[in-house]
Copies of this chain bind each other. A is one copy, B any other.
Amino acid sequence: MEHQLQHTISLLARTPAVLDELLRTLPEAWTRSNEGKNTWSAYDVVGHLIHGERTDWIPRVKRILEFGESRAFEKFDRLAQERESKGKPLPELLDEFARLRTENLTMLRALNLRQKDLKLRGRHPSLGVVTLSQLLATWAAHDLTHLHQISRIMAHQYRDAVGPWSKYLGVLHCAGHSA
C-alpha cells in the first residue's frame, strides 16, 4: 500500500476516540499497570502521544517546509511524559491528546500539501535524509505501534490468570519490541 495522505489523516483522526473508548473509565488495574521495571503503562503511553503532538510531528513537517535538509529535526524526548503527565488524571490526558490531535490535523489540512510536496526532504538527527511522505506515514504507524503496545501491556496483566490458554494467545508471546 503506497502512502496516501488521505489514508494517513483518516487513521490519525480516529486514534484519540479509540483510546478514549478503551481507557477513559477502565479500572486503574488495567491502565496504570506496566510490564515490569522501566516499562510503560497505558497511562504513560498516552502521555508520550501528547508529547509527540506538541514537539514531534507538526514541528518536523514545518522544519521540512522551511529548511529542507539543511537543518535537522530536534531530537524527540522519549521520557518527557514522566515530567509532563505528573499528577494528571487519565481522562485529562485523553482530553488533551484529542484536542492537540484535532489542532494538528487542522494545521496539516491547511497546508494543503500536493503530491509533489510529499517528496520534499528533511534531515532526521539519526536516520539522515527522510521525506515528508515518510514522516507523515510514520505519524500514523506510530499511533499503531502504541495501540499494539497498549494491548500487549494490558494482556500482560492476565498472563497468569489465563492459565494454559497463554499458549494460544499471540499477544503473550510478543517480545515487546515497542517498549
Contact = CB atoms under 8 A, between A and B. Distances in A.
Interface of A: 1-4, 6-7, 10-11, 14, 17-18, 20-22, 25-27, 29-30, 33, 124, 127-128, 130-131, 133-134, 137-138, 140-142, 144-145, 147-149, 151-152, 154-155, 157-158, 160-165, 167, 169-179
A171 B178 contact: yes
A173 B128 CA distance: 21
B1 A26 contact: no
A165 B138 CA distance: 7
A53 to B, nearest CB: 17
A contact face: mostly helix, strand, loop, or mixed: helix
Nearest to A142: B169
A98 to B, nearest CB: 12
B163 A141 contact: no
Nearest to A156: B1
21 contacts: A1-B33, A2-B160, A10-B26, A10-B27, A10-B30, A11-B30, A14-B21, A17-B21, A21-B21, A127-B164, A130-B163, A131-B163, A137-B161, A137-B162, A138-B163, A138-B169, A141-B155, A141-B162, A141-B171, A147-B147, A174-B174
A140 B29 CA distance: 14
B177 A162 contact: no
B163 A173 contact: no
A10 B158 CA distance: 14
B137 A158 contact: yes
Interface centre among A33, A149, A158 (most CB of B within 10 A): A158
